[in-house]
Structure 1
């Protein structure tokens, strides 16, 4: 357990920052969610938390994807979303906590929360002038990470699922204190 937690904290040395250089296009968009711990953990976290829901398991990932696309588009048009970076960190921490606590929140609560996180993740990149091919690539990998998180969550027993959520929570706290 101590080794697992130590390893989880070691995954979190970088601050939650949207990265520049997105003008390259779709390939960079495909890779981006895999290159930042904040994005990777949040995307997997949505899938893990969705797997814990008793029904409507697609609702949370789809909500995140739609909100992420909307946040990207809005920011591309110059609309500014406040507190983007704190919301990205909050997404990692709260998704980890929800999974660790096996929280089955009503969709009326979970969907707006996940939508807010999706808006923040999308806005972080739309504001940097990344193009539509970058956005499509990022959305595709985000969807794949949601599926991977959900598949992982559906195969785990409850105890290991809670440990995965706890590790995500700890990594999110590490990101918050590192940045």
Structure 2
């Protein structure tokens, strides 16, 4: 038997075997792309709109003003309730006035920072929790087809926590008298931005 005769059968057999062996890898690559897309979309979505950014930073600013334990409870309560709102959005559950609720969150939170308003902890948690549902619902309804919903949700929760962290870090300037005034000025800017967004939402 010549070399060419012995090689041909093996070559014919190896092609389907190679296809079968590589099929799971091709399928896994497709899943990984969807998962990566979902996570990256979730991470980028909260920072893609200024209305989300200013409200989430304001939560951190207000938490820094209120001090412990609100300093860490508010940035935990907001993403948790936002995840709930995101689930409602993913399921297609309607929520009236989402854009108005998002804009109103910036107005109210900015006003609270500007006025250095100290609410009872339960009331503060309830307030940010209600606003978080609107933000989460907006994120949930914008999941793109083929992306992993769980990783998308994880992404926007992580990004939200980071924005809260920015607000907390900036809020540390309240240790100084000039810093407290600057913090109130930041609250005024957030409130002004919220009024602008609210006008756009109702106009």
Q: Determine if the TM-score, normalized by the shorter chain, exceeds 0.5.
A: yes
Matched, 1:69 2:87: no
Task: Find the aligned partners of 2:81 and 2:188 in 1 and give their Cα distance.
Answer: 25
Q: TM-score, normalised by structure 2?
A: 0.73
Instruction: Give structure 1 stretches of 5+ with no counterpart.
Output: 1-22
Within a 5 Å distance, the mapping from 1:135-150 to structure 2 comes to 135-150=153-168
Question: C-alpha displacement at 1:24, in angstroms?
Answer: 4.0
Is the CA contact 2:85–2:133 (under 8 Å) kept in the aligned structure 1?
A: yes
Within a 5 Å distance, the mapping from 1:167-178 to structure 2 comes to 167-178=189-200
Question: C-alpha displacement at 1:145, in angstroms?
Answer: 0.6
Is the CA contact 2:173–2:180 (under 8 Å) kept in the aligned structure 1?
A: no
Q: TM-score, normalised by structure 1?
A: 0.82
Within a 5 Å distance, the mapping from 1:1-179 to structure 2 comes to 24-56=37-69, 57-130=71-144, 131-156=149-174, 157-179=179-201
SS in 1 for 2:110: helix
Task: Find the aligned partners of 2:111 and 2:185 in 1 and give their Cα distance.
Answer: 10
Task: Find the aligned partners of 2:140 and 2:158 in 1 and give their Cα distance.
Answer: 16
* Alignment match, 1:4: none
User: Alignment length, in residue pairs?
Assistant: 157
Is the CA contact 2:86–2:136 (under 8 Å) kept in the aligned structure 1?
A: yes
Task: Find the aligned partners of 1:75 and 1:42 in 2 and give their Cα distance.
Answer: 19
Instruction: Give the number of the structure whose residues are more often helix, by fraction.
Output: 2
SS in 2 for 1:25: helix
Task: Find the aligned partners of 1:53 and 1:106 in 2 and give their Cα distance.
Answer: 10
Instruction: Give structure 2 stretches of 5+ with no counterpart.
Output: 1-35
Task: Find the aligned partners of 1:25 and 1:54 in 2 and give their Cα distance.
Answer: 35
Q: Higher mean Cα deviation, 28-37 or 110-119?
A: 28-37
Q: Higher mean Cα deviation, 28-37 or 160-169?
A: 28-37
Give the structure, 1 or 2, with the largest relative contact order (CA under 8 Å, sep 6 or more). Answer: 1
RMSD across aligned positions (CA): 1.6
SS in 1 for 2:96: coil
